[in-house]
Amino acid sequence: MDSTATPMPRLHQPSTSNNNSQYILLVLAVLSLTSTPAYALINARIECRRPYQYSTSLILRQHQPVLRAVSVAMMTESRNHLQSSSSDGSDSLVDDITILGFGSLLSIKSARLTFPTLKDFRLGRVPNHRRVFGHPASIFFERDIALLDTLEMSSLSCEYEEGHSFVCSVFEVPNVGLSEMSFDGNHGKPTSNWIPSRAFLEREEEFEIALVPYEELPSTNNGLSKDSTSTCFGGTDGPLKLGVICRRSTDEAYIALWGQDHFQNKFLKHGVKTIWNWPKDSGLKPCPVYLRHCVLASYNCESEDTDTWSIGCTGGVCYNSFLDETYLVDRETSIRDYLNQYPDIMKLEPPDALRERYGG
């Protein structure tokens, strides 16, 4: 490939995927987002049916200040993953948290705009989850790139669905302002439950911030290499691990956490009546500028060095997964099929003020 030319992603043949199932425990925690009591967990009764499916009956035991609910996904192994034991036997949060990216965070360049201190950027696969353009994002209206008249305003999320999976980026970030310890209300001691901090929730306000299993995609060098030609993948490597991901939520959870006024200011005033209740036949479509950004991010992945780009290596694995394992709101149309129908999307340029943010 001519390194002087602007690289345009090519639509390659579909890639294969590996699926694994893993059961986790879901806990609905009701948090008080004030200084006292600090992130106290309120008693909740949980009925677990199958992985990630649950019904709840909350018993609220506080009345001041106003309680806000946030759904937090955990596995029973979360103590080992997110906590370490100090020499005196007490629990403390680990120094780093593993982040799983599936859209704009697929490229290390784009990921560093959000997480400048990230490290060990690599690829993984999230089993039993589907990647979907299924909800509008308020930030698209604020940045004037949402097209309400054609419903081209959707952002990305993932949702639990057995048999589906997708390639994600995996990297660690310092655990600074991303999580909090939950405390035993009776004894005032830290528990094994990981909960996202208020700052993390505010940054990803419409999502459920969840801990989900993922599997490493090994390279020949056991990680992404500066020499992309030797970074080729085959199968998965080792047991499932845990990472933090932004997952599909509900309108009810959003309003419970942030309030009706916030929902009004972020969505209703733009003519958007729901975040998460878009039917499969609604005609909701990806925001074009954001879709192009994600496609370029998946294509560039480790770097923008297109001379070393290969279908079977870093860029190709991530790119083909995004094309074939990402769907419109109908859960049937892949992004590859959508771009074949509307190829001009990849020729769009973001507004000048957003060129770096939405440049892949």
Mean pLDDT of 293-317: 72
Question: What are the tens digits of pLDDT across the range 275-302?
Answer: 999 999 999 999 999 999 999 999 988 6
62 is a domain residue: yes
Lowest mean pLDDT among 55-64, 215-224, 272-281, 319-328: 55-64
In the chain, where do the E strands start and end?
25-31, 44-50, 53-58, 68-74, 83-85, 91-93, 96-101, 119-136, 152-174, 179-183, 190-196, 208-216, 237-247, 285-286, 326-327
Q: Is the model's pLDDT at 346 over the cut of 90? A: yes
pLDDT for position 334 = 98
Q: Using CA atoms, how far apart are residues 255 and 188, in angstroms rounded to an integer?
A: 29
320 is a domain residue: yes
pLDDT for position 268 = 98
354 is a domain residue: no
**Reported confidence tier of residue 245, pLDDT bands at 50, 70, 90:** very high
112 is a domain residue: yes
Matching residue, tokens 């060990």: 120
pLDDT for position 324 = 97
Lowest mean pLDDT among 22-31, 277-286, 313-322: 22-31
Average pLDDT for the chain: 71
Question: What are the tens digits of pLDDT across the range 141-159?
Answer: 999 999 999 999 999 999 9
Q: Using CA atoms, how far apart are residues 313 and 330, in angstroms rounded to an integer?
A: 30
Which candidate, 207, 127, 124, places its Cα nearest to that of 168? 124
Backbone Cα Rg of the chain: 21
272 is a domain residue: yes
Question: What are the tens digits of pLDDT across the range 176-218?
Answer: 766 654 444 444 444 334 566 666 677 789 999 889 999 998 7
9 is a domain residue: no
Range of the domain at 210: 25-348
**Reported confidence tier of residue 239, pLDDT bands at 50, 70, 90:** confident
17 is a domain residue: no
281 is a domain residue: yes
**Reported confidence tier of residue 8, pLDDT bands at 50, 70, 90:** low
Which candidate, 191, 188, 200, 212, places its Cα nearest to that of 129? 212
Which candidate, 212, 218, 214, 213, places its Cα nearest to that of 237? 218
| Overall number of domains in the chain | 1
Please, which residues have CB within 8 angstroms of residue 46's CB and are 6 or more apart in sequence?
Answer: 25, 26, 27, 28, 54, 56
